[in-house]
Structure 1
Amino acid sequence: MTDRDNNLSRRRFLKLGSYGLLAVPAVAGLGWSTAAQAMERLSEDDPAAQALNYVHDASAAAGHPAYEEGQNCLNCLLYTDASAMDWGPCTVFPNLLVAAEGWCTAWVSR
């Protein structure tokens, strides 16, 4: 095998490898949205939700001493998919979706 052949196969390997790396986030993103769609929405009646004063609409939490104007799940650090504009996953409530406009006492600034 000549040097020219080695360079071509090395280039081809690097080229195909880079395509593979570019495909990983796209495929992972497709899997996540499918998994997120399969999850149930958190109910305000859920015992864990009640323990953290969770509400679907942050304006309903205005009377709570820990609530500050402008806080909601979408701008919380624990809301793990900031691109989910209606309902999304939260680390506090595993395997459940919370309302992006919701709020609970576990809110942490993003």
Structure 2
Amino acid sequence: MKNSRRQFMILSAAGACTLALNGKVQAQAMVAETDPQAAALGYKADASKVDKAKYPKYAAGQKCDNCALYQGKVGSAAGGCSLFGAKQVAGPGWCSAYAKKA
């Protein structure tokens, strides 16, 4: 099969788009509360469901979206967290590593 320069350029562009989209899709994976690291930190996707007896450090108003470790915007539904790598956490979530954003 004879390949042309045009065919090469089209396949190269398609390959680049595939790689770019693959990275974005993977970045959107959410952390599950059952994930071993999340469970160890007491992560809850909804901060109002935190067991206050088990985590006395929790205080009303503490949420992932106003934590120093959160990489998304305040008020966003989800964003990255430096503790969970490429996975995202819920903006209204909470874990025991909470540190108020300065």
Higher helix share: 1
Query: Same-fold call, TM > 0.5?
Result: yes
Structure 1 pair 99–36 and aligned structure 2 pair: CA distance change class (3 A): farther
TM-score by length of 2: 0.68
RMSD of aligned alpha carbons:
2.1
* Corresponding residue number in structure 2 for 1:70: 61
> 5+ residue gaps in structure 2?
1-19
After superposition, residues 59-98 of structure 1 pair within 5 angstroms as 59-61=48-50, 63=52, 64-82=55-73, 85-98=76-89
Within the candidate set 75, 92, 95, 1:101 is matched to 92
> 5+ residue gaps in structure 1?
1-30
Query: Structure 1: which amino acid aligns with 2:34?
Result: D
Cα displacement (A) at 1:84:
6.6
TM-score by length of 1: 0.64
Conserved? CA contact 2:46–2:90, under 8 Å: yes
**How many residues get paired?**
78
- Which stretches of structure 1, 4 residues or longer, exceed 4 Å deviation after superposition? none
Identity %: 38
